[in-house]
Each structure stands twice: as structure tokens, then as C-alpha cells.
Structure 1
Amino acid sequence: MRVEPTTRRIRVPRVLSVVDCGRVASPVTAASQVRGGAVWGIGAALAR
């Protein structure tokens, strides 16, 4: 996480997710779910 001191803008330059999702029926959908969960988690953490 990086914070710009003058504007107080927060940036998250890199995210790493490790997931054990079991059998995958649709790889594209599974990847989208992982990305969405990561974005949601970052948003929730930064909102506090």
C-alpha cells in the first residue's frame, strides 16, 4: 500500500491471492471470482 502524502491518495500496486477452489467448471468464472473477492477485501479494509 502506498499513500501520497499531499493528496492522501491510497494505491495498492500489487495483490497476491492464494486460493484452493477445488474442481473448476469454468476457469474464466473462477478467475473472475478470485479477482472480485480480492478487490472487495481491499475495499473493505481501506474503508475502515
Structure 2
Amino acid sequence: MSGLNVLKVGILRDKLKTLDLAIAKSIIDLHGGELNIEIDGDLFKVTIAL
């Protein structure tokens, strides 16, 4: 896989992660819950309270 293709896959992966979190937040909000995300470099922690 060329360097450009690897970059495109990485960008797509990051966009899909963002979309997944947006969908999860919408569902949790509809149920009156709360979604918290803590980011530390490449590590992130998601806490859901319903």
C-alpha cells in the first residue's frame, strides 16, 4: 500500500471514529444520559452515565 493510501485510510478511520461518537452521544442524549470523553495523547476514556 502506498504512503498516500495509508494516509487516506488513516483519515477515513479518524472520521469514522468521530461519526461513531456523534451517533453514540445522540442516542445517550435522547435517553437523558451523559457522555464524557477524556483524551490523553492516543488514549481516550469514554464514560457513559444514564
Using structure 2 for the length normalisation, give the TM-score: 0.46
Give the structure with the higher percent strand: 2
Give the structure with the higher percent helix: 2
Using structure 1 for the length normalisation, give the TM-score: 0.47
